[in-house]
Amino acid sequence: MTRGLTGRAAIVTGGARGIGRATCLALARAGATVAALDIDSAGLAELARADSGPGRILPMACDVAEREAVFAATERVVAEAGGLDLLVACAVHFHFAPLVETPPAIVRQMLAVGLEGTLWAMQAAIPHLERRGGGLIVGLSSVAVFYGIRHAGVYTAIKGAIDALVRQQAVELGPKNIRVVALAPGPVDTPGARSVIDDAGFAARQARTPLGRLATAEDIAAAVVWLASEDARSITGITLKIDGGITLAAP
């Protein structure tokens, strides 16, 4: 049975919207103090007004593409919460297009947010997790890694890199009692996904999902809460699909 997270401190990048927002709320409602890092000031303000249950949400404006900003925000979180137990790297920049039509500026932005932002957050968090005697890092992968999706070349490359990074860091950090896992959601109806998938696209994906329903942001967040609990203490180095079975049925 999953236990509460009272007294735990977490950072969620990309915390203002979508899966990041749902994760912030789920962790706070389990009792954690959660810092939501995002450049979306309106989304952070809305998150601050949401019911966080027994925990706390600390909205923090931060561009995860900027290494110094991520390190500064992490230090503020540690000072406010007294330490750090959990990092969830959700920040992503969506853009689907044929590879040859993807401008260099878009490629750089996607890499800066989705991959470098994850690396910077890990670099900033790991020393604090060590001081805590261990902890958990969660990277956000995608089912796009497991089968081909048209026009998702850069996005999929980033998610594949996160999978590889998670496996490598699970080995490197295991002796320090730091677990590292990736979550691979199927299609999730979030503002970011809506920027690249329309109603017809979601309907088509749902139709080929064995469970007949798409995962929600709350489903992904619930997995994070479980992974952060003592019930999952032996789980590390995996990419957990939360996709209703769509990768089994694709294309």
Report, as residue numbers or ranges, the catalytic residues. Answer: 155
What sections of the chain are H helices per DSSP? Answer: 18-29, 41-49, 67-81, 104-110, 117-131, 153-173, 191-194, 199-207, 217-228, 246-249
CB 89 within 8 A of CB 121: yes
* CA atoms of 28 and 20, how far apart (whole Å): 12
CB 23 within 8 A of CB 1: no
* CA atoms of 85 and 78, how far apart (whole Å): 10
Provide CB contacts within 8 A for 49, sequence distance 6+: none
Positive or negative CA dihedral for 195, 137, 57, 124?
negative
Cα Rg, the chain, nearest whole Å: 17
Tokens of 121: 């957050």
* CA atoms of 15 and 77, how far apart (whole Å): 14
- HEC assignment per residue over 158-195: HHHHHHHHHHHHHHHHHHHCEEEEEEEECCCCCHHHHC
